[in-house]
Amino acid sequence: MTDTTLYVQRFDDGREPLLEILGGKGASLVSMTAADMPVPPGFVVTTASFDAFMEEAGIAEQIHDALAGIDPEDVAAVEKLSAEIREALCSRPVPPAARAAVVTAHAELMAQCGGEVPVAVRSSATAEDLPDASFAGQQDTYLWQIGLEAVTEHIRQCWASLYTARAIIYRLKNNIPNEGLSMAVVVQKMVNARVAGVAMTLNPANGDRSKITIDSSWGVGEMVVSGEVTPDNILLDKVTLQVVNEHLGSKHLELVPDPAAGTLIQREVPAERAAIRSLTDAELNAVAAMAKRAEKHYRCPQDIEWALDADLPDGENLLLLQSRPETVHSNPANTAPEQKPAAAAAGGGFDLSFLPASLLATK
């Protein structure tokens, strides 16, 4: 195996989506790409890169010793230790071989996209979003990053986010060992979302698997995921895709790109647009059908993130950004089926019975 393939894996290079190499989010994106789902292109900086980074940093044992003696109820102490760990990690350089692999993969992604485009840099931890414990949001996501240096810096920040206070507390309270954890990082082309949101292949209010729930709002979906806006909430019949119930949210803000600033900005949504449903009937059906496809692929109820790309024509603009197992009503403790996607890649026949998928991590 070359250094490039050790440290980086493209979504579309045909290799197995191994959890221990790609983390939950990265493995899911590679699996869905192999299944020909409409996933924006990208690559995963593998756990081998993180492991090499930690080895060169030389502080893993100190971190583990410090975490072993911390009380998760002492939030101030956890936050202080977290800040110290993250500062120490972010001051260390990326190992040369890992950086060279990222340079190559980033250049290939930009060429694939026809030029310099913004990307999302997302954490993908190996303990993330297991089917019996929702781990989403415990590490960081950085949207609309432009250029190699910004991407490299935010890869390092994602590595350090394994030790955010909220991630440390979560692991301690859920008896997840800090030793042996690793972190992959997803680098993925950003979607210029006209509308975005989430969908679940059941009714989260009562676990009814004959329904699909779709939340949607204007702009990039981060504001829906983080709860900063009240989205439209639509309940559909899973078989007929007919609307059973709908509630229009206020949708008063949207997150959109500012070309001049080269970043995302929040802006007010005009009242007349905020008052109407953000998805047409045809778009609702398309989102629901894609959610059903993800559920069929993984063979258990899914919680997906999706977006309609303003730069693509209708009929080709619905993109799948994340898919993870629904963890409340589908907990294995409640006899839910395992996350077992069907073999998808032609000639691949990968057994992915172990694989947890993952939705958009929040900040």
Task: Kindly state the percentage of the chain with pLDDT values over 70.
Answer: 86
pTM of the model: 0.86
Query: Can you give the pLDDT at residue 329?
Result: 75
DSSP one-letter code for 4: H
Q: What is the pLDDT of residue 361?
A: 33
Q: How far is CA 158 from CA 92, 93, 168, 235, 243, in A?
A: 13, 14, 14, 35, 39
List CB contacts of 150: < 8 A, sequence separation 6 or more.
none
Q: What is the pLDDT of residue 176?
A: 84
- Contacts of residue 69, defined as CB under 8 A and 6 or more positions apart, other chains included, come to none
Strands laid side by side in the 193-200 sheet: 243-247, 232-237, 211-218, 193-200, 302-309, 318-325
Cβ-based neighbour number of residue 268 at 10 Å: 9
Q: How far apart are CA 12 and CA 282, in angstroms?
A: 29
Predicted confidence (pLDDT) per residue in 111-153, tens digit: 999 999 999 999 998 865 455 555 545 567 899 999 999 999 9
Check: CATH 3.30.1490.20 for 8-189?
yes
Residue range 65-104, pLDDT digits in tens:
999 889 999 999 999 999 999 999 999 999 999 999 999 9
Q: Residues 174, 14: contact at Cβ < 8 Å?
A: no
d(CA 42, CA 32): 12
With CA atoms as reference, report the closest residue to 321 among 196, 177, 165: 196
Grouping H, G, I as helix, E, B as strand and the rest as coil, residue 245 is strand
Task: Annotate 191-231 with DSSP letters as a single string.
Answer: P-EEEEEEEESSBTTTTBTTEEEEEEEEB-THHHHTTSS--
Element (H, E) at 74: none
Q: For residue 253, list its beta bridge partners.
A: 268
Low-confidence spans in the chain with pLDDT less than 70: 1-3, 127-139, 330-363
Give me the amino acid identity at 279: L
Locate the domains of the chain by residue range: 8-189, 193-325
Cβ-Cβ contacts under 8 Å for 268 (sequence gap 6 or more)? 252, 253
CATH architecture for segment(s) 193-325: 2-Layer Sandwich (3.30)
Distance, CA of 24 to CA of 20 (rounded, Å) = 8
Report pLDDT for 351: 29
In this prediction, residue 341 carries a pLDDT of 43
Do the bridges between strand 183-189 and strand 193-200 make them parallel or antiparallel, or are there none, so unpaired? Answer: unpaired
